[in-house]
Amino acid sequence: MLYDIVIIGSGVAGLSAGIYAGRANKSVLIIEDNNIGGTTVTLPNINNYPGFTNISGVELVSNMYKQCLNFDVKFDFLRIDSIDFDRNIIRTDNNIIEYKTLIIASGSTYKRLNIDTEEKFKLHGLSYCAVCDGNLYKNKKIIVFTKNNSAINSVKYLKNLTNDIIVMDISNGFAFDGIECYHNVLPIEIIGDTNVKGIKAMIGISEKVLNCDGIFVDLGKVTDIDLYKDNLQNESGFLITDENLHTNIPNVFVAGDIRKKSLRQIVTACSDGAIASTEAIKYLSKNIF
Ligand SMILES: Cc1cc2nc3c(=O)[nH]c(=O)nc-3n(C[C@H](O)[C@H](O)[C@H](O)COP(=O)(O)OP(=O)(O)OC[C@H]3O[C@@H](n4cnc5c(N)ncnc54)[C@H](O)[C@@H]3O)c2cc1C
């Protein structure tokens, strides 16, 4: 089957792209290999998406999904084996999908500490995103995990909200100016009942328990760009675009967290989706198929 626009990923970037493409009367397929809604659907409370004092990820994503369906956007749940960028073909287990334009919106995930208690305290005092959750810790005591200087921007952002910050560096490299900083830290256990109360860690050769109200982990992000990396320009795992989200291939665009950019948030992912779709629509108008 041939589509005007195929979108890989049904996070908020992909859904926004779908809404804009569907409203322009294009034939659109969104391919997802997991759940609709990507990371956003897992968030119980979003309070920085403009227009909503508080909305759950499920509600936001459900609304966007309905908008897509209203504009006749199709969804398919499958695993992509390969993409032939010369012939505009996506290969799956038992199918071939053809596209005129392609929007890649397959997101990224945060690197984790990989300790047992991590899952339990996620959203209960353990965060991976200073811009998302920093505001919850105004004037509170927080610990930030970094690997070398990976958390430098998070620390700068959090300094707007509290002076009570300790940095724990799992490597041995970086000094954060004017901030208490431990190096060679091996986290052992997050301490707390329902909410984070502290962390137990090896610092050098001694075990320590430090109390805090919240823990931020900023060890960087991981993307899966295996499908694209031989054809699309990329850097440190992120795909490179120009400001209108064009890649080095004229009919391929990128939106959302998988893109090299400075702020990875729902609002910027949605904005990317809208821009990428509009550029794909322009491409279709210029190139009569
Ligand atoms: C804990 C946490 C809290 C956050 N809180 C906030 C907040 O309060 N406010 C805010 O603005 N932002 C927040 N963010 C950031 C926000 O969630 C992301 O910026 C946003 O979800 C990015 O959307 P996306 O569509 O680019 O990617 P994603 O949400 O990652 O979606 C990508 C989708 O692509 C799919 N996919 C990946 N590879 C393939 C493939 N090969 N084939 C098919 N499908 C594929 C994935 O399954 C996924 O559904 C938070 C992030 C986290 C982790």
Average pLDDT in the 97-117 region? 95
Q: What is the DSSP letter of 205?
A: T
- Degrees (nearest 5) of the Cα angle 5, 102, 98? 70
Average pLDDT in the 123-147 region? 96
Q: Can you give the pLDDT at residue 93? A: 85
Task: Tell me the residue ranges of DSSP E strands in the chain.
Answer: 2-8, 28-32, 74-77, 80-84, 89-92, 95-104, 109-110, 126-127, 142-146, 165-169, 180-182, 185-192, 196-203, 206-211, 214-218, 221-222, 234-235, 238-239, 252-254
**C-alpha 46 to ligand 1 mean position (Å):** 13
Least confident of 16-30, 58-72, 177-191: 177-191
Report the mean per-residue pLDDT for the chain.
95
Average pLDDT in the 207-212 region? 96
Average pLDDT in the 122-129 region? 94
Q: Which residues of 1-27 are buried (b: 16+ CB within 10 A; e: fewer)?
A: eebbbbbbbbbbbbbbbbbbbbbbebb
Q: Can you give the pLDDT at residue 7? A: 98
Asked if pLDDT for residue 186 goes beyond 90, the answer is: yes
As a whole number of angstroms, the distance between CA 70 and CA 5 comes to 17
**C-alpha 223 to ligand 1 mean position (Å):** 11
Q: At what angle do helices 12-23 and 266-286 cross, to 10 degrees?
A: 40
Asked if pLDDT for residue 190 goes beyond 70, the answer is: yes
**C-alpha 42 to ligand 1 mean position (Å):** 9
Cβ of 48 less than 6 Å from ligand 1: yes
Domains 2-108+223-286 and 111-218 share a fold: yes
Element housing 22 (H / E): helix 12-23
**Chain segment 43-74, per-residue pLDDT in tens:** 999 999 999 999 999 999 999 999 999 999 99
Of 45, 48, 3, the closest CA to residue 28 belongs to 3
- Going by pLDDT thresholds of 50, 70 and 90, the confidence category of residue 176 is confident
Q: Can you give the pLDDT at residue 204? A: 85
Cβ of 128 less than 6 Å from ligand 1: yes
Q: Which residue has the higher pLDDT, 215 or 174?
A: 215
Cβ of 105 less than 6 Å from ligand 1: yes
Asked if pLDDT for residue 175 goes beyond 80, the answer is: no
- Going by pLDDT thresholds of 50, 70 and 90, the confidence category of residue 106 is very high
- Count of alpha carbons within 13 angstroms of residue 69, beta-carbon side: 8
* Amino acid at position 111, single letter: K
Of 19, 40, 108, 221, the residue with max ligand 1 atoms within 8 A of its CB, to mutate for a pocket test, comes to 40
Asked if pLDDT for residue 165 goes beyond 80, the answer is: yes
Instruction: Please count the other Cβ atoms lying within 10 Å of the Cβ belonging to residue 282.
Output: 13
**C-alpha 196 to ligand 1 mean position (Å):** 24
**Chain segment 239-280, per-residue pLDDT in tens:** 999 999 999 999 999 999 999 999 999 999 999 999 999 999
For 111-218, CATH number out of 3.30.70.1230, 3.40.30.10, 3.40.718.10, 3.50.50.60 equals 3.50.50.60
Average pLDDT in the 89-94 region? 93
Which percentage of the chain shows pLDDT scores above 70? 99
Of 10, 39, 78, 157, the residue with max ligand 1 atoms within 8 A of its CB, to mutate for a pocket test, comes to 39
Average pLDDT in the 35-45 region? 94
Q: Where are the domains of the chain?
A: 2-108+223-286, 111-218
Average pLDDT in the 161-186 region? 90
As a whole number of angstroms, the distance between CA 34 and CA 212 comes to 35
Cβ of 225 less than 6 Å from ligand 1: no
- Residue range 2-108+223-286, CATH number: 3.50.50.60
| Partners of residue 8 on adjacent β-strands | 31, 104
Asked if pLDDT for residue 289 goes beyond 70, the answer is: no
ipTM for this model: 0.99
What tokens does 157 get? 């952002």
Q: Can you give the pLDDT at residue 179? A: 92
| Partners of residue 206 on adjacent β-strands | 203
Asked if pLDDT for residue 288 goes beyond 80, the answer is: no
